[in-house]
Structures are given as structure tokens and as C-alpha cells.
Chain A
Amino acid sequence: MNEPRHLFDKVWDAHAVGTLANGQTQLLIGTHLIHEVTSPQAFGMLDDLGLSVRMPQRTFATVDHIVPTDRRHEPFDDPLADAMIKALRANCERHGITYFDLDSGRQGIVHMVGPEQGITQPGTTIACGDSHTSTHGAFGAIAFGIGTSQVRDVLASQTIAMTKPKVRRIEVNGDLGPGVYAKDVILHIIRTLGVNGGIGYAYEYAGDVFDRMSMEERMTVCNMSIEGGARCGYVNPDDTTFAYLEGRPYVPKGVAWEEAVARWRATASDPGCAYDDVVVIDAARIAPTVTWGINPGQAVFVNERVPHPDDVPPGERASVAEALAHMQLQGGQPIAGTPVQVAFLGSCTNARLSDFREVAAVLRGRRVAAGVRAIAVPGSTLVKEACEREGIDRVLIDAGFEWRAAGCSMCLAMNPDKLRGDELCASSSNRNFKGRQGSATGRTVLMSPVMVAAAAVTGAVADARTVFAAGEA
């Protein structure tokens, strides 16, 4: 009997090419995802060195960050964005790389496209020049973000130099309360372990809460691993994973499918394997969670008060004071009731079909509050079309949301969707950094999509469990 091993070790060992002179591992990257922001410089470096793409058929591209979500026809109004999409298209054509272009019907945020197409598979290594590549870990892949020089390395060699991280198992057991979503679980984990708690670790999410989650919920959780400092986070593959993948364009068919499923099942962590660290969290203690500060760990339950600088350890006082000043909040005040000027439903964290279904279910017959600018941006063209087939777009539009085309949009405001001045945005995205949503003085409060809907209809940060309580008009 072999020593029991966790998924991370199995996948890492299977992809380890060798040890480099400095002691790092040369790791084979089976799937390389690229987009318009972090790849053009890498292609430029390749050209300077006279190198070609090592495995173009394992490289997949789409365009997401800079895409306008209202008027999508080219040339884009922004000449810089227009140059970026043209460079991506040209690089893909020149190197024979599959590219899901704007009009392909399959374009979307790169972390939506991989799973939708079945490119994202268990037991694989996936790299992309984007920190939210951790999303793909939901399928039991080792998936992580890389910088542009590493994009170059993967293009040229299909490998990168990497130090093997430790593995922390995060178990969440028990029942989540009504109105508590995957987003609340991951915000609570980051709040508990800190924004730097995951440095040097890969996170394995385990326990019956994750076992019961849909793939879309698991993606929400894995997506924000990096916000807790962990470059990579994963859930062991199971029947939920295989059911999601079956029949998607890039997964094997027939006998090959059965073989793949057997292989994938065997990649899951063995019972009794050892971890570098284990953290156990009680699901019943998690309430709808919102951020109050300028990093995703600065979060409270929606019915709590924001901290006061005097209440935290001396080493954290300056950070808390800085965050409160930026957010225009007073220490000790309740977070609920904080006025909201913008509501954003979107991003690779929470812009999937299930997110919009949840929102539509509570928004039917409700109206966005006066003075709130509300936009809904599906994460992919396929999600957009699925929502439109189900009439979800109508519910959102009738409620007062703008219904847009797929892209990263106001998560990081590289396209025209931006906060103005010091607007406060209730956002289903992943980062509340200063300036993140396009205005240096703009303010972001992260929360689940249903909580965004509650903020939109009340014009303030609000507990969705109360706002949408049955029977309330």
C-alpha cells in the first residue's frame, strides 16, 4: 500500500519535469490560458528571442478585461483597448492558438470560458497571466496566476520554474444558514485566516459544505483563494465535477470519457493523507458577509459593526484607520445602512448562471432605489444567452439594472465601466482595493450577488435575508 497522498502532490509530481539549479521545480503546464492584458509583452519577448510557441494546441485565448460591455463593435472607442484586441488576435493567428473572439459565441472572462468549454479538467496544471486563475481549482486542477515573463516561459517551453507550496486543508462542515452563499464562505475564510494567511500555501477546500456545492459555487470559492494569499486553491473532483464536464466541447467522448473519469477520480486526495496544516470552520457560524475596508480580509457580518482602531492590536491600528478614512466610515458604526450609489453584478467570482438566477428570484417585482446606478454584466457570452433564454435579463432590466455584454467590466475598470468620484459600489467582485473600480477615491463593498441586489433596491448595505423576506412588499 502506497502512502496516502493529497491531490496537490499527485498532480504536482505528475507534472514535475525536473529540478532546476536553484532548487525550484520545472513544472509542466498542461493548459495555458491567455488574454489581451498580460500576453502581448510575452509574445514580444518571444519575438525578440526568436522563439516559437511550444504547444499552441494547449494554449487558449479570449478577450475579457478591456471589452466594452455596451458598444462592442470595433474599432473600440478607446484606441488603447482596440490595439490590445488586435494584438491578441494577430498573435493567436500567427502562432496557431485557439482564440474565442468577441463574435465566437464563446467569449467571456477567461476563467468562465475554460470551464464552459471543458478545457478546465481535473488533475491538470493550468496557468494564466491572471491571479484569479485559482478559479479552475474548483475542478481539482492545480491552477495559478503567473506574471508576463512566466507567460513567456510557458509559451516558449510549456513549463515554469516554481517552488512547491505547502498544502492547507480548510474544512467547512455543517449547514449554511438561509441566505448564506459560497461568497460568504470564502469572505469568511479570508477574514479568519487573513489576506496573507495563505502565502506559501495551496488551499484544499474540503468538508461537507464544499461536497454539497455546485461547480459554480466551488468556482466562487476557489476564485478568491488569491485574496487570502494562496496562489492556488482546489476542491477534490467528484461526481458533481464529472456531471458538469460531461459533453462539453473539449472533454473526451465515449470510452475515453470513462477512462478520464476513472483517472480523475483517482487524483482526489486519499483518505488519511497528511497536510501541512488543517483549519476547521463551522458552517453554521457564517452569516452574510461584507467588506468594510480596502482589502478582502477587512470584512464583517452584515449585522456587525465595523471595527474601531482602538479595538484592534496596535500593529493593525494604522491599517484600520487608513481603511476607515478611505471608506468614509466611523469606527464602531454598523455597516448596514451605509449608502450605496452603484450596484455591480459581475466578475469571474460571481457572474455565472446560478448567480443571476438567485438574483432574479429575489428581484422579481422589485425596483432599484432612486439614485443607484445598477449594472449586470454576465461573465460570458454563454451565460448571457442562457439568462436571456430564461428571461432573467428581463427581470433585471425591469428592476432597473442595465443588462450588458460579457467581460470583466467594473471589477477592475479597464473598460469604460467605472466608478465616478467617491461613489460607493456594492459589488459581487473580488477586490476592494483603493482605486480598484476605476476612481482613486471610489469605494467598494464586496458581497454576494443577492446582497448586491438587496443593496440596489434599498440604496444601502442591507441584510438580504430581511430585505427579501417572504411576504414583504
Chain B
Amino acid sequence: MALAPVLHVRGRGVVVPGDDVDTDRIIPARFLRAITFDGLGDHLFQDERTAEDGRPLGHPLDRPERRGASVLLSGRNFGCGSSREHAPQSIARAGFRAVIAGSFAEIFFQNATTLGLVCLALGDDELAAVSAAVEADPTAELAIDVRAASVTIAGRRHAGAMPATARDALASGRYDPLAELLEHDDAVAAAAARLPYLAGERA
């Protein structure tokens, strides 16, 4: 399961404003009634984009000049709520390769990183500056440097934050950990054997 390293993301941005954008808004629960992740990209932010009667609500994602954007920008505590991987899946399947936000909810961050979807956190001032640059020019290109945890737009570099574990995993192509977890099966068996509640089990 060797994966291509994720060192850089370059693309145009779209701002979905607000703090605490939760997983039910990213992908409403009714779209979780499925046994695959297929088609989830079509329902990203569905209830914020389309009224019940089918009327478009003028969401940033639907503005023609934002079509093809690959970097999603939002506020603090992005992805709070459910553990549903459907949330980062829907973002990735809608064509996004990175999310820039004030901060990330923990489970969302881990789920996204495992998919290779880059999550870069920016401080309030930096986030405001980058979001303003994106809003000002739909054609402006963002360039995220994963190892440096920074983003450059309109010739200005903005330093952000990403845990070293995630930077390393993305940059080395090891963001999907399963292969490495399976390598240590003997150690897993030994750890299980040391635990009385597991010692009687097949290990």
C-alpha cells in the first residue's frame, strides 16, 4: 500500500465561513444510508446549498467562479461532531485536496489525514488574511507546503500548524497506516497476551 507522498497542494480556494462547521452540515445523516462511500461528493453541504424545494441557496461552493476549487477554507473547530468518515470522504470526492481552517475537530482531522486530505490550521489573523485573499480573487492560487505547514497566496507566505505526526505521514506517503500496523502483528499478539481480559483469546 505504498502511497504517493503528499508534499504540496496547489489550487484555487473557496471560503465556507463560520466556526464550528459540524459533520451534519458537511454531510447530512440521511446520505449515510449506504454501504459504500460512492456519490458522497454530490451531497457535500447539501442542506446549505439547496432548499427542500430544490431552490439553490447561493452557497459559495455553487458560485461559478469557484468551480474547480480544490482548497476549502473555513473557521475554527471545523468538522466537529460525528466520527463519520463520510465527512472528509464527501469533501475529497467533491474534488478538494486540502482544508484550511482555524482549527480542526480531532476525529475529523484523523479521518481526513488518513485519506490524504491535507488539513492546515491557521491562527485568526493569518486565516483572515488568507480568506480575504481568496475572496478578493477567485483565480488566486494557494500553495500549501505540507512539511512547512504553510500556505502561500498572492505572493505572501502564511505560517500555519499541523502536528508533526501528520506532516510526516503525508510527506512520506504513510498517511494510511494499515500496512505498518500489520507489520507488527507479533507485537500485537504479545501485548494481547499480557492483558488478562484478552489473554484467553486467539492472538
A-side residues, CB < 8 A to B, are: 14-18, 20-24, 26, 28, 30, 37-38, 40-41, 44, 49, 51, 54-55, 57-58, 65-66, 78, 80-81, 83-84, 87, 121, 123-124, 129-131, 133, 144-150, 152-153, 156-163, 195-196, 199-200, 226, 229, 231, 259-260, 263, 294-295, 315-316, 318-319, 322, 412-414, 431, 433-436, 438-441
Interface string of B107-119 (1 = CB under 8 A from A): 1001100110000
Contacts of A161 in B (CB 8 A): 177, 180-181
Instruction: List, in ascending order, chain B residues with CB within 8 A of A259's CB.
Output: 196
B90 interface residue (CB < 8 Å to A) = no
Binds A, one of B74-82, B130-138, B142-150: B74-82
**Smallest Cβ-Cβ distance to A415: which chain B residue:** B33
As a 0/1 sequence over residues 53 to 97 of chain B, the CB contacts with chain A under 8 angstroms (1 = contact) are 000000000000000000000001100111111101000000000
Interface residues of B in 14-49 (CB under 8 A from A): 17-20, 22-25, 28-30, 32-37, 47-48
CB <8 Å contact, B107 and A147: yes
Whether A55 touches B203, Cβ cut-off 8 Å, given contacts A147-B110, A157-B182, A196-B77, is yes
Given A318-B18, A319-B20, A322-B18, decide whether A57 and B201 contact each other with a Cβ distance below 8 A: yes
Alpha-carbon distance between A315 and B20 when the two chains are bound, in angstroms: 13
Indicate the member of A26, A40, A84, A124 with the most B CB atoms within 10 Å: A26
Residues in A with CB closer than 8 Å to B188 are: 17, 26, 28, 54, 157-159
- In the complex, the answer to whether B107 meets A145 with C-beta atoms within 8 Å is yes
Q: Considering only CB atoms, which chain A residue lies closest to B1 in the complex?
A: A49
Assuming A30-B197, A58-B201, is B114 touching A149 (CB within 8 A)?
A: yes
Contact among A84, A129, A195, A436 for B83, CB-based, below 8 A: A129
Q: Which of A17, A121, A322, A434 contacts B191 (CB 8 A)?
A: A17
Kindly count the residue-residue contacts between A and B in the assembled complex, taking CB atoms under 8 Å apart.
Answer: 226
* Shortest 5 CB-CB contacts between residues of A and residues of B: A145-B83, A147-B111, A147-B85, A440-B47, A40-B35
**Given A231-B106, A319-B19, A319-B20, A163-B163 contact (CB < 8 Å):** yes
Assuming A147-B114, A156-B178, A322-B18, is B105 touching A229 (CB within 8 A)?
yes
A157 to chain B: which residues have CB within 8 Å?
178, 181-182, 185, 188
Does any Cβ of A come within 8 Å of B2's Cβ? no
B176 CB-CB contact with A under 8 Å: yes
Q: Is the CB of A131 within 8 A of B19?
A: no
CB atoms of A15 and B191 under 8 A apart: yes
Contact B85 A148 (CB under 8 A): yes
Contacts from B to A (Cβ < 8 Å): 1, 17-20, 22-25, 28-30, 32-37, 47-48, 51-52, 76-77, 80-86, 88, 103-107, 110-111, 114-115, 124, 163-166, 168-169, 172, 174, 176-178, 180-182, 184-185, 187-188, 191-192, 194-198, 201-203
In the complex the two chains form, is B83's CB within 8 Å of A434's CB? Answer: no
Q: Are A229 and B47 in contact (CB under 8 A)?
A: no
Residue from A57, A83, A130, A153 in contact with B178 in the complex, judged by beta carbons closer than 8 Å: A153
Besides A20-B180, A28-B198, A260-B197, 20 new A-B residue pairs in contact (Cβ under 8 A), listed by A number: A17-B187, A22-B174, A23-B164, A23-B168, A24-B177, A26-B188, A28-B195, A41-B35, A51-B182, A131-B81, A131-B83, A149-B115, A161-B181, A263-B196, A315-B124, A318-B19, A412-B29, A431-B22, A433-B24, A436-B29
| Given A21-B172, A156-B181, A158-B192: A199 touches B103 (CB 8 Å cut-off) | yes
Residues of A within 8 A of B28 (CB): 435, 440
Please, how many angstroms separate the alpha-carbon atoms of A259 and B124 in the complex?
Answer: 53
A-B contact pairs, 10 of them (CB 8 A): A22-B164, A22-B165, A26-B188, A40-B36, A133-B83, A149-B178, A159-B184, A231-B106, A433-B23, A435-B28
Contact B105 A199 (CB under 8 A): yes
A438 and B30: CB pair below 8 A? yes
- The residue of chain A having its C-beta at the shortest distance from the C-beta of B51 within the complex is A440
CA distance A90 to B187 in the complex (A): 31
- In the bound assembly, the distance between CA atoms of A388 and B17 in angstroms comes to 48
Closest residue of chain A to B104, judged by CB? A199
Task: Assess A434 versus B201: contact at CB under 8 Å? Given A150-B114, A159-B188.
Answer: no
A96 to B30, CA, bound (A): 29
- Chain B residue numbers with a CB within 8 Å of A84 are 33-35
* CB-CB nearest in chain A for B20: A295
Write out the residue numbers on chain A whose beta carbons fall within 8 Å of the beta carbon of B184.
17-18, 26, 159
B25 and A26 form a contact (CB under 8 A): no
B119 to chain A, nearest CB (A): 13
Within the complex, the shortest CB–CB distance from A287 to chain B, in Å, comes to 24
B33, B48, B164, B177: the one within 8 Å of A414 (CB): B33
Known: A153-B181, A414-B32. A147 touches B84 (CB 8 A): yes
Contacts A21-B180, A153-B181 known; A436 to B24 CB distance under 8 Å?
A: yes
Bound Cα distance A231, B105 (Å): 9
| CA A414 to CA B30, docked complex, whole Å | 5
Give the chain A neighbours of B115 by CB distance below 8 A. 149
Q: What separation, in Å, do the CA atoms of A16 and B47 have in the docked complex?
A: 42
Residues of B within 8 A of A55 (CB): 192, 198, 201-203
Do residues A433 and B22 form an inter-chain contact, with CB atoms below 8 A? yes
Residues of B within 8 A of A156 (CB): 178, 181-182
- Please give, as numbers and ranges, the residues of chain A lying within 8 Å of B111 by CB-CB distance: 147-150
Closest approach, in angstroms, between the C-beta of B198 and any C-beta of chain A?
A: 6
Asked whether A30 and B81 contact (CB < 8 A) given A37-B32, A161-B181, A431-B24, the answer is: no
State the CA gap A396–B1 with chains docked (Å): 55
Partner of B29, one of A199, A226, A413: A413
Please state if B35 and A28 are interface contacts (CB–CB under 8 Å).
no
Query: In the assembled complex, which residues on chain A have CB atoms less than 8 Å from the CB atom of B81?
Result: 131, 226, 431, 433
Interchain CB contact under 8 A, B25 and A434:
yes
In this complex, what residue of A is CB-closest to B30?
A: A414
Complex: chain A residue closest to B167, CB-CB: A22
**What residues of chain A lie closer than 8 Å to B48, measured between beta carbons?**
434, 440
